């Protein structure tokens, strides 16, 4: 059993919820949602009153529980897994739980309301457990009074409080109204993992039934009374800005209400306000199609204010700055330069990847209703808190007067960490003086991205006469910064080691794309290690294990930032599950550690009509305690397909500052027939605190893909996308 302190930073569970005297009356729609048709959940009667136990938990008199899910739901399924953690410590039946999306509310929620960096579960683990345990404590305390039995003599079992002899019992629902005022102590007992009955099981996506029925869930679906529709037009190229446009003609178009230029610059922009185009044209009308038609009729004078970059410029710049760029980060162990110079044999390989876009299937959109001194913002955002403060600074309206509600989000991948579309919606609503939903056309979305930067890295290895690896070096550069993690594997496992990042520059807007930097580096490094193993005449998995053992037994240099023992476990697990040493020989392996999670993957290829095709993928994951097993598998399956898809097919190309491939006819995304036939996911079982899963499955997929392609084609792949006709980055 774990004792946990209920104070989390400055946020404390100690104060009671300040609950509403009797209970909390809630709207009719919410009540209806308690009825889940597919599982035919028990529902004795529709609750009349909900008692607010704390920010996360409401209980009604029949013991029905509503759990508010605090974080944005971008498809990582936190709307199911976060409430599962609360329900576990509350000790209720999952069947009695209804989940509702919480809004941005720092008073109610003690965990950061943020979806990014695979952090929701990692950062939510303690606060969510405390919320559940605090609720359970309050209910037992209330029962203790009611039954006149000492607190210590009461136990709970799935929503029922018993005395130790199990003769006397009382339902959570019966004491909920009396629990609301009970104070939570400074220290609380948490369950030990062996006692879990909800965590570690597989529970279906709580919104799965609504999704398949096409219910209104997403930002794009949101409707409000008197709501207007808006679209934007941004400069057609990076390095351009607007001068003037044919406003009068646009306003005369049918269904158009107004058109104007907005500026979303703020005095001290946060990192989340990255956006190349602060000044854009907004067209407002009644219906989307009308506004789209008006957009086509725009005639704009754009002026050049900066370089208009081409993909070819990018390639040359990366090449130059890989040699001469400013070093921004570096780790040096031993003397790799000398060892490389005196080596019997050396290996040098250069890897590269292009810019790519996030392409969330739901394009950027947001609803805003700006009034005199208050704002309502509703839509898909990974960083609601940051949006709130940016809108506050843009409009000069205090944050307390801004309400942010999160809708279900049609994909994130990092794109919705950035808040510009929320600012734009707010500015448009302010100008037009009405509630507005802003929607990007796919072309607007693809050409105004915060892209994954293009990267280039050069890897070198030295070998002695016995073909043993003696030195390793990597230098990487990106537009604008390098992709290398100097203290990650293989740091610590090679005595002469250099890892260095260099910077470059671009006026294309870039940012976090699922597993930032790792999404390139894992593929490059793991392909290079595969080539090294070949020269050393070692089995690729054995070779990786040897390096990891070296970092346990005689680590070189300063500290490194991975746990070699956990790394070894996933490699051994994937070796076993993939039957690595038998059957089809066209298998490639990769392993990677990022976002606190260890992953090893094996991809198996077959030839189908002279084309390599992925037949099977095996994946071993150590993310500590797994919350929702089948859904965790889903996340890993998706990230593997995502990694494979982008490495094989996707690239964003520029000509005169313009994105050339501005919709899915020109921008390739992996499709159904190109996906692996089977993905098998396995978890290392342990009781370590859970880490994130949204990202870490993706990076090693690219390495395993490149290595398996080598096994079946005899060709090494160095530049992404691997399958591309006009690959400007190919070597």
Partner 1 sequence: MEFFEINVNNKIHQVEADPSTPLLWIIRENLSLVGTKYGCGISQCGACTVHLNGEAIRSCVYPVSAVGKQKITTIEGLSKDGEYSYVQEAWINEDVSQCGYCQAGQIMSATALLEKSSDPPDDEIDIAMSGNICRCGTYTRIKKAIKSASSNKKSNGNY
- Using CB under 6 A as the binding rule, whether residue 555 contacts ligand FES is answered as no
Of 490, 501, 458, the residue nearest 557 (C-alpha): 490
| Beta carbons of 483 and 520 less than 8 angstroms apart | yes
Take residue 480 and report the two structure tokens written for it: 């604008």
- Cα–Cα distance measured from residue 98 to residue 83, given in angstroms and rounded to the nearest whole number: 9
Residue 721 DSSP label: S
Closer of 415 and 460 to partner 1 (Cβ): 415
Kindly identify the residues of this chain, within the stretch 241-260, that bind partner 1 according to CB under 8 A.
254
Q: How many residues bind ligand FES (CB under 6 A)?
A: 3
Please report how close the Cβ of residue 75 comes to ligand FES at its closest, in angstroms: 5
Nearer to ligand FES, 287 or 565 (CB): 287
Report in angstroms how near the CB of residue 392 gets to ligand FES at its nearest: 31
Residue whose CB is less far from ligand FES, 75 or 422: 75
Residue (338 or 361) nearer to ligand FES, CB: 361
582 makes contact with partner 1 (CB under 8 A): no
Phi-psi region at 412: left, alpha or beta (left = phi > 0; alpha = psi -120 to 50): alpha
Which residue is nearest to ligand FES, using beta carbons? 361
Q: Where are the beta strands (DSSP E) in 535-594?
A: 587-594
When asked if residue 373 is in the footprint of partner 1 (CB under 8 A), the reply is no
605 in contact with partner 1 (CB under 8 A): no
- Site membership for partner 1, residue 442 (CB under 8 A): yes
- In angstroms, give the least distance from the CB of 90 to partner 1: 23
Site membership for partner 1, residue 622 (CB under 8 A): no
The string of DSSP letters for 603-617 reads EEEEEETTEEEEEEE
Residue 351 β-bridge partners: 457
Dihedral of the alpha carbons of 447, 427, 408, 114, in degrees to the nearest 10? 90
Among 185, 236, 334, 411, binds ligand FES (CB under 6 A): 411
Dist. CA 618–CA 598, nearest whole Å: 14
- Distance between CA 29 and CA 100 in Å, rounded? 11
239 binds, among partner 1, ligand FES, none (CB under 5 to 8 A by kind): none
Closer to ligand FES by Cβ: residue 93 or 633: 633
Query: Nearer to partner 1 by C-beta: 246 or 286?
Result: 286
Nearer to partner 1, 486 or 516 (CB): 516
- Segment interacting with partner 1 (CB under 8 A) among 134-142, 465-473, 543-551, 638-646: 638-646
Site for partner 1 contains 449 (CB under 8 A): no
Choose the contact partner of 114 out of ligand FES, partner 1, none; CB within 5 to 8 A by kind: none
**CB 340 within 8 Å of CB 412:** no
Instruction: Look up residue 407 and give its two tokens.
Output: 């809708």
Interface segment toward partner 1; rule CB under 8 A; list 241-249, 310-318, 435-443, 705-713: 435-443
Structure tokens given for 611: 């084309």
Percentages helix, strand, coil for the chain (3-state, rounded to 5) are: 30, 25, 45
| Chosen residue from 23, 55, 63, 75 binding ligand FES by CB under 6 A | 75
Nearest Cα to 604, choosing from 584, 574, 634? 584
Cβ 633 to ligand FES, closest distance in Å?
15
Q: Which residues does 150 contact at the CB level (< 8 Å), separation at least 6? A: 144
User: Counting contacts by CB under 6 A, is residue 72 touching ligand FES?
Assistant: no
Among positions 25-84, residues that touch partner 1 (CB under 8 A) are: 37-38, 74-77
Q: x-or-dash pattern for partner 1, window 211-240, by CB under 8 A?
A: xxxxxxxx-xx-x-----------------
- Cis ω on the peptide bond leading into residue 721 (within 30° of 0)? yes
212 makes contact with ligand FES (CB under 6 A): no
The contact mask relative to partner 1 for 381-420 (x = CB under 8 A, - = no) is: ---------------------------xxxxxx-------
Q: Does 288 bind partner 1 (CB under 8 A)?
A: yes
Verify binding: residue 678, partner 1, rule CB under 8 A.
yes
609 binds partner 1 (CB under 8 A): no
**Residue 361 touching ligand FES (CB under 6 A):** yes
- Closest alpha carbon to 59 in 183, 180, 205, 155: 180
Cβ-based neighbour number of residue 650 at 10 Å: 23
Pick from 104, 240, 623, 670: which binds partner 1 (CB under 8 A)?
670
Residues recorded for the chain: 731
Of these partners, partner 1, ligand FES, none, which one is at the site of residue 673 (CB under 5 to 8 Å by kind)?
A: partner 1
Exposed/middle/buried for residue 100 (C-beta within 10 Å: 0-12, 13-18, 19+) = middle
Q: Which does 557 bind (CB under 5 to 8 A by kind): partner 1, ligand FES, none?
A: none
Angle at 299 between CA 293 and CA 301, to 5 degrees: 150
| Residues 165-204: x where in contact with partner 1 by CB under 8 A, - otherwise, as a string | -------------------------------------x-x
Closest CA to 456 of 150, 730, 700, 105: 730
Distance between CA 612 and CA 464 in Å, rounded? 35
Kindly state the number of chain residues that form the binding site for partner 1, as judged by CB under 8 A.
Answer: 67
- Whether the ω angle into residue 348 lies within 30 degrees of 0, i.e. cis, is no
Are the C-beta atoms of residues 686 and 622 closer than 8 Å to each other? yes
Q: How far is the CB of 442 from ligand FES (least distance, A)?
A: 8
Choose, by CB under 8 A, the member of 150, 672, 714, 726 that binds partner 1.
672
DSSP 96: G
Comparison of 74 and 477: residue with beta carbon closer to ligand FES: 74
Contact 599, 700 (CB under 8 A): yes
**Nearest distance, CB of residue 638 and ligand FES, angstroms:** 8
Residue 432 interacts, among partner 1, ligand FES, none and using kind-specific CB cut-offs from 5 to 8 Å, with none
Map residue 700 onto helix, strand or coil.
Answer: helix
Residue range at the interface with partner 1 (CB under 8 A); choices 170-178, 552-560, 664-672, 706-714: 664-672
Q: Which residues contact 628 (CB under 8 A, 6 or more apart)?
A: 77, 80, 81, 84, 201, 202, 203
Q: What is the Cα–Cα distance from 716 to 349, expressed in whole angstroms?
A: 10
DSSP-derived secondary structure for 618-685: EEEEE-SS-SSHHHHHHHHHHHHHHHHHHHHH--B-EETTEES--STTTS----GGGS-SEEEEEE--
Q: How far is the CB of 669 from partner 1 (least distance, A)?
A: 5
Q: Which residue, 81 or 144, is less far from ligand FES as judged by CB?
A: 81
Chain contacts with ligand FES (rule: CB under 6 A): 75, 361, 411
Chain contacts with partner 1 (rule: CB under 8 A): 37-38, 74-77, 202, 204-205, 207-209, 211-218, 220-221, 223, 254, 287-290, 293, 359-363, 408-413, 439, 441-442, 630-631, 634-635, 637-642, 645, 663-665, 669-673, 675-679
């Amino acid at each position: 059993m774990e004792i946990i302190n209920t104070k989390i930073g400055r946020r404390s569970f100690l104060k009671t919820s300040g609950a509403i005297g009797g209970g909390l009356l809630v709207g009719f729609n919410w009540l209806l949602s308690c009825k889940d048709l597919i599982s035919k959940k028990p529902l004795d009667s529709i609750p009349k009153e909900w008692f607010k136990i704390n920010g996360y938990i409401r209980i009604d008199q029949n013991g029905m529980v509503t759990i508010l899910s605090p974080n944005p739901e971008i498809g990582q399924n936190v709307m199911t897994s976060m409430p599962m953690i609360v329900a576990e410590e509350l000790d209720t039946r999952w069947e009695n739980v209804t989940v509702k999306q919480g809004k941005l509310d720092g008073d109610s929620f003690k965990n950061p309301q943020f979806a990014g960096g695979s952090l929701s579960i990692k950062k939510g683990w303690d606060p969510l457990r405390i919320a559940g345990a605090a609720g359970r404590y309050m209910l037992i305390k209330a029962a203790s009074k009611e039954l006149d039995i000492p607190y210590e003599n009461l136990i709970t079992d799935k929503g029922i409080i018993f005395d130790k002899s199990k003769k006397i019992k009382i339902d959570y629902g019966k004491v909920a109204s009396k629990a609301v005022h009970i104070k939570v102590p400074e220290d609380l007992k948490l369950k030990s993992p062996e006692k879990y009955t909800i965590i570690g099981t597989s529970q279906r996506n709580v919104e799965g039934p609504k999704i398949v029925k096409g219910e209104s869930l997403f930002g794009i679906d949101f409707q409000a009374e008197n709501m207007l529709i808006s679209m934007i037009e941004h400069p057609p190229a990076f390095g351009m800005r607007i001068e003037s446009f044919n406003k009068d003609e646009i306003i005369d178009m049918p269904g158009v209400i107004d058109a104007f230029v907005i500026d979303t610059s703020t005095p001290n922009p946060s990192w989340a306000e990255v956006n190349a185009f602060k000044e854009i044209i907004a067209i407002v009308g009644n219906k989307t199609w009308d506004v789209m038609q008006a957009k086509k009729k725009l005639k704009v004078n754009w002026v050049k204010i900066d370089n208009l970059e081409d993909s070819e410029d990018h390639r040359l710049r990366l090449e130059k700055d890989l040699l001469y760029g400013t070093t921004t980060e570096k780790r040096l162990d031993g003397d790799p330069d000398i060892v490389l110079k005196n080596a019997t044999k050396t290996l040098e390989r250069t890897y590269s990847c292009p810019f790519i876009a996030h392409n969330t299937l739901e394009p950027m959109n947001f609803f805003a209703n700006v009034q005199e001194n208050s704002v309502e913002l509703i839509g898909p955002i990974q960083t609601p808190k940051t949006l709130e403060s940016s809108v506050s600074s843009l409009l000069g309206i205090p944050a307390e007067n801004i309400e942010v509600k999160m809708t279900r989000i049609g994909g994130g991948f990092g794109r919705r960490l950035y808040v510009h579309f929320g600012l734009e919606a707010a500015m448009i609503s302010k100008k037009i003086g009405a509630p507005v939903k802003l929607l990007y056309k796919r072309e607007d979305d693809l050409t105004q991205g915060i892209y994954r930067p293009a990267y280039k890295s050069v890897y070198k290895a030295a070998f002695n006469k016995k073909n043993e690896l003696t030195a390793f070096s990597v230098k990487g550069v990106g537009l604008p910064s390098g992709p290398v993690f100097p203290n990650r594997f293989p740091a610590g496992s090679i005595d002469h080691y250099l890892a260095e990042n260099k910077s470059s520059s671009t006026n294309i807007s870039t940012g976090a794309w699922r597993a930032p930097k790792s999404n390139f580096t894992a593929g490059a490094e793991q392909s290079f290690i595969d080539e090294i193993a070949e020269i050393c005449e070692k089995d690729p998995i054995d070779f990786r294990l040897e390096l990891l053992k070296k970092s346990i037994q005689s680590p070189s240099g300063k500290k490194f930032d991975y746990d070699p023992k956990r790394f070894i476990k996933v490699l051994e697990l994937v070796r076993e599950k993939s039957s690595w040493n038998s059957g089809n020989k066209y298998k490639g392996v990769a392993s990677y550690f990022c976002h606190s999670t260890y992953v090893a993957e094996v991809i198996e290829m077959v030839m189908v009509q002279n084309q390599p095709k992925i037949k099977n993928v095996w994946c071993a994951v150590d993310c500590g305690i797994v919350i929702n097993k089948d859904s965790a598998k889903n996340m890993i399956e998706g990230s593997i397909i995502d990694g494979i898809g982008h490495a094989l097919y996707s690239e964003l190309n520029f000509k005169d500052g313009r994105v050339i491939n501005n919709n899915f006819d020109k921008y390739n995304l992996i499709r159904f027939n190109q996906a692996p036939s089977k993905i098998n996911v396995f978890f290392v079982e342990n009781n370590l605190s859970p880490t994130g899963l949204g990202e870490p499955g993706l990076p090693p997929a690219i390495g395993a893909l490149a290595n398996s392609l080598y096994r079946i084609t005899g060709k090494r792949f160095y530049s992404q996308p691997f399958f591309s006709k006009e690959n400007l980055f190919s070597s």
